[in-house]
Structure 1
Amino acid sequence: MTDDMSPGARLRLFREAAGRSRPQLAGLMGCSPESVKAIETGRRELTLTMAVRAARALNIKDLSALFGADVAYTVLERPSHEALPDVRRALLLHHPDDGSPQATDYIRTMLDSAWQTWHSSAKQRTETGKVLPKLIRDARTAAAVGDDRREANRLLAEVYHLTQAWLAWHGDRELCWMSADRAVAAAQAADNPLSRARASWYYAHLVRAIGHNEDAITELGHAIPLVRDRIDSDRDYAAAYVDLELCAALTLARAGDESAWSHWDDAKLAAERLLPDGYAHPYTRVGQAIVDVYAVMIAVAMGRGDEARRRAANLDPASIPSTERRARHLLELARGYRLAGEDIGAVHLLAQAVDASLETVVYSPPARLLTRELLRIVPPSTREDVERIASRISLRD
């Protein structure tokens, strides 16, 4: 075992030395075999939580055996945000505020504005974090004591979706799960099939993130029929259907399942038929450009860098109707270039992602993992460029 080995490569050696298969280790770690494979091959970061589970399963006494000299830094790998205490307080204080509840029209306007800020600002977490705590309190109060409880609960579910997006890459993971679970409850209280389907979409993303791909697919399978019959008559239902099919495609891709492309094809056809050119959903930004973004994500998830580059060839990043999604696309494409062995191109694209939205990259575990990897492998002529990126995202080598 050499000092420059990645944590994933170290994990594979320990697993093989213990005589464990990937499915066996996955069962002991509480994740899927595909998640173990993704960690071992460098497509997914070995987080501290997963490292502790692996160490217990493989009888590894010291985490430095997995992380090497980087173990102290890895503990601090997930940066937090200064607005997190206020968001946490808004989520945990369960009783509605005193006074009259805000009208649902007001909450809807503030929610639309917050989502617009999320997608248009390069500092989406900072700017959205300024308004999110009050939005949570107002929406919860309206759902508890307002006049139109069903509409208030529908809006509350959407507020929790925004909260989940805000928390996804930083802060307490328990709060992220709390947001997703409360969104499902609010959507059920709203008694609205579209709201329930959208809540399932957000929930499935989290279920997939912890490696339970089959459960995520089951959740999506229950959600798709909620919207499918109305996609020809209601654009919001059509957008939700496309989102659900794309989520299924990415989930299957991360499980190494080739049927991912069938779901992507269904999403592509539906978007071309039902969503006009230039359309972007106000919250998820789904539209024809986002469908093409997912094609790159699917290829990267399946470890096919050349395919990711091919899928991205005709996609102009400027056409992506969200600063946050644009930065994430450039990051995914950088990972695709790395998979294809095009490290110089990966550095260039990673720098573009930083320029598009520094906050997106700062709080992205895959971005930090890729930066650390590039610091290890790039030639001296390029190392200065990577060090500049590492400095901008506050990453210590």
Structure 2
Amino acid sequence: MPENNKRLDPAAPFAARVQYYRERTGFSRPVLGGLVGRSGEWVKGIETGRLLQPRLPMLIRLANVLGIDLERLTGEQGLPLSTYSKAAHDALPNVTEALTRYVVDTRDVVPLTAVELASRVAQAWDLWHGAARQRTAVAVVLPDLIEQAQLSVRLHDGNERRAALSLLAQVYHLAQLYLSFQPAPEMLMLTGDRAMTAAQDADDPHAITAAAWYMNHIFRDAGERDEARIDLATRASRLLRPDDGGEDLAQWGLLQLAIALSHAKSGHEGHALSHWDKAAGAADALGANYAHPWLIFGRGMVDAYAVTIQADLTHGGEATRLAGRLDLAAMPSATRRSFHLAEVARAYFLRREHVGTVHMLRKAYRESPETARFSRFARSAVLELTETAGPAIRDDVAELSRDLGLNAA
């Protein structure tokens, strides 16, 4: 994949900006065109100036796929992508304040033991995966949990401290999930870095590989090249012994899935499917009913991501075929079920099957209103459908727009 190390001229026109960010991301013209529902020739027309700058919904979709703010794509006055395709949760200020608050005087503090902290972290994961409005539920406990985990690390030593560090990494993962798809990219990067640092300080291979999985997603949102994400996941996977089964096999399979997703994003079908096969093999070896208690890796997750991979490869027909066979009922996470239903909607959207798109987005919203509300695809698709929907789905699109909070955007 060619790298783009050139700096973008701040005065560059829209056509040059599209080409610059496409090349930096590593997309070919057909891949970028497919991801936004257009052809490679359409992208060429945009980049050569033969076609005019598209309307706002398509601009938003381009920015989403390229992983940048709208103002970086258009070069016009400040118009951050968060204005249109990211929502802010009511408790966002409380969570971000907790992440930047430090307890200096610890003279009278009695820290939680590692066992006590592990129980509280497990309860927080249960809230994240079990609640339909998971951000609201987790935001109630997250600020105090951040402080308690930090204090446990600071005030314990030896094995107790190492256990607390591994748990602190999980707390930062919860914060990453809470912050994702909200207008706080700097805080998202902060939590990812802190999680990896805590995991490394714990010298815990499982904590490090879990941090690599979550950093993979942060890198994707930050527009980092696929090579960086693949390299991180590959290096982390070498810390594991998948032949031992159990946790090692589950996290190894998860990282194979991360590598597959990165290859799919850059259009490398053979590599993507090869690593997906490895992830599927790991899930099968763990058993049909296995699901990791908080990473949720298992056969259901692997099958669901097959739809994402085919959609990223712009194979809309194969993505919808796989979606028709998908059973998410057994996946023990309302959050993940809603996310994958939105991915199924994306597969239909690629084929311009708008009835199917709206139907699946409504299902995603019913499964978890907050997951759907914070889905960049759902928000950008509904914005576009608001302008283009036919009479058969116009009322449903209007209802989705209200549900996702787009009317006030």
- Scaled by the length of structure 2, the TM-score of the pair is 0.83
Distance in 2 between residues matched to 1:291 and 1:197, nearest whole Å? 17
Contact 2:34-2:350 at 8 Å conserved across structures: no
Matches within 5 A, 1:37-186: 38=32, 41-42=35-36, 44-46=61-63, 50-56=69-75, 61=76, 75=83, 77-95=85-103, 98=106, 99-147=109-157, 148-186=160-198
Partner residue in 1 for 2:337: 326
Assess, with a 3 A threshold, how the Cα gap between structure 1 residues 39 and 82 changes in structure 2: closer, same or farther: farther
Q: Counterpart amino acid of 1:142?
A: S
Q: Counterpart amino acid of 1:51?
A: L
Assess, with a 3 A threshold, how the Cα gap between structure 1 residues 236 and 382 changes in structure 2: closer, same or farther: same
Assess, with a 3 A threshold, how the Cα gap between structure 1 residues 315 and 21 changes in structure 2: closer, same or farther: closer
After TM superposition, the runs of 4+ consecutive aligned structure 1 residues lying more than 6 A away are 71-74
**Residues 127-168 of structure 1 deviation map (CA, whole Å, 9 limit, x = unaligned):** 011001111111111111124111111111111111111111
Q: Counterpart amino acid of 2:27?
A: E
Distance in 2 between residues matched to 1:127 and 1:352, nearest whole Å? 21
Query: Is residue 246 from structure 1 mapped to residue 240 from structure 2 by the alignment?
Result: no
- Scaled by the length of structure 1, the TM-score of the pair is 0.85
**Residues 231-262 of structure 1 deviation map (CA, whole Å, 9 limit, x = unaligned):** 23241111111110111111111111111011
Q: Counterpart amino acid of 2:287?
A: P
Which of 383, 388, 391 in structure 2 is aligned with 1:380?
391
**Residues 172-202 of structure 1 deviation map (CA, whole Å, 9 limit, x = unaligned):** 1111111000011101110112211211121
**Residues 207-246 of structure 1 deviation map (CA, whole Å, 9 limit, x = unaligned):** 122222111111111111111xx22324111111111011
SS in 1 for 2:238: helix
Distance in 2 between residues matched to 1:319 and 1:247, nearest whole Å? 22
Q: Counterpart amino acid of 1:359?
A: E
Query: Is residue 261 from structure 1 mapped to residue 273 from structure 2 by the alignment?
Result: yes
Distance in 1 between residues matched to 2:209 and 2:381, nearest whole Å? 34
Assess, with a 3 A threshold, how the Cα gap between structure 1 residues 177 and 355 changes in structure 2: closer, same or farther: same
Q: How many residues are paired up?
A: 364
Query: Is residue 216 from structure 1 mapped to residue 229 from structure 2 by the alignment?
Result: yes
Partner residue in 1 for 2:3: none
**Residues 36-95 of structure 1 deviation map (CA, whole Å, 9 limit, x = unaligned):** 964895275526953332344xxxx557xxxxxxx6996354221122122112110133
Query: Is residue 200 from structure 1 mapped to residue 212 from structure 2 by the alignment?
Result: yes
**Residues 351-392 of structure 1 deviation map (CA, whole Å, 9 limit, x = unaligned):** 111111111111111110111122222211210111011111
Unaligned stretches of 5+ in structure 2? 1-12, 38-60
Partner residue in 2 for 1:67: none
Q: CA RMSD in A?
A: 2.4
SS in 2 for 1:232: helix
Matches within 5 A, 1:346-357: 346-357=357-368
Assess, with a 3 A threshold, how the Cα gap between structure 1 residues 40 and 193 changes in structure 2: closer, same or farther: same
Distance in 1 between residues matched to 2:208 and 2:296, nearest whole Å? 19
Matches within 5 A, 1:301-320: 301-320=312-331
**Residues 304-340 of structure 1 deviation map (CA, whole Å, 9 limit, x = unaligned):** 2111111122221212221011111111101101112
Contact 2:22-2:32 at 8 Å conserved across structures: no
Partner residue in 2 for 1:390: 401
Partner residue in 2 for 1:284: 295
